[in-house]
Amino acid sequence: MNLYAQGLLESPLGWSVALIVGLAFGFWLERAGFGSSRKLAAVFYFKDFAVVQVMFTALATAAVGLVLLDGLGWFDASRVYRMETLLAPQVLGGLIFGAGFAMGGWCPGTALVGAASGKLDAWAFLGASMAGSLGYAALYPSLASLQEVGACGIVTLPELLGWTPATVALLVVAVALAAFWAIARFGPRGSPMEATEVGGPR
């Protein structure tokens, strides 16, 4: 049984495992090239689709893995923590977040990796995002009611579609493969960008 289900997530054991998971998380983000804001932002100009390729490969891998482990009886996927669907704050928050992503060139996870790669713009982004979270807390008395708008409890695609999780996993894989095919067919081709062109002058 997982640590969260055992109530051990907030314990020295949970923190140690979280640190190890974080090490792997940072490693894979950096390997993907997500320690570069120009690479991340390039998705919004159709110049580099690594964000889409990595994101959808990762979520399809984890989704299929979870369905498999659960189906084989090796892991009870129902014991994993799930977030509620709060439609208004998630859609509005997503739009604002996307705007910040395109402007800042980072999201919180990739900014950690960028900061660790020596990118000063990542440190600026991280510092400002901390201020932004305090800003939300300061405005929370007037923003709290938004959390009630479109609050639907835990909503999952299998329930919504009336399909089994395995079928939904196959759908996610199929959509991901279609997107990857389109990227290979219509996406950027040719040699990698010149080094000076990528980073700009110092």
Partner 1 sequence: MTGPIQPVPERAQRYWNPYVAGFGLGLCLLLSFVALGVGLGASGAGARVAAGAAHVLAPEAVETNAYLAPWFEGGSPLSNYLVFMSLGTLLGGFGSALIARRFDLRVERGPRIGSGGRLAFALAGGLLAGFASRMAGGCTSGQALTGSALFLGGSWAFLMAVFAGGFLVAPWVKKEWQA
* Interface of this chain with partner 1, residues 89 to 148, rule: CB under 8 A: 89-122, 124-138, 140-141, 143-144, 146
Residues 6+ apart with CB under 8 A from 123: 115
The answer to whether residue 20 forms part of the interface with partner 1 (CB under 8 A) is yes
Task: Report, in Å, the least distance between residue 73 CB and partner 1.
Answer: 13
Is 186 a binding residue for partner 1 by CB under 8 A? The answer is: no
Site string for partner 1, 156-185 (x = CB under 8 A): xxx-x----x--x---x-------x-----
Query: Rounded to whole angstroms, what are the CA distances from 123 to 34, 93, 113, 118, 172?
Result: 14, 22, 10, 9, 34
Dmax over CA atoms of the chain, in Å, equals: 55
Closer CB to partner 1, residue 16 or residue 178? 16
Q: What angle do CA 69, 72, 73 make, to 5 degrees?
A: 85
Applying CB under 8 A, the site for partner 1 has a residue count of 147
Tracing tokens 């990857």 back to the chain, one arrives at 180
Half-sphere exposure of 108 (CA within 13 A, CB side): 7
What are the beta bridge partners of residue 86? 151
66 binds partner 1 (CB under 8 A): yes
Map the footprint of partner 1 across residues 36-55, applying CB under 8 A. 36-39, 41-45, 47-50, 53-55
For partner 1, the binding residue among 79, 149, 174, 175 (CB under 8 A) is: 79
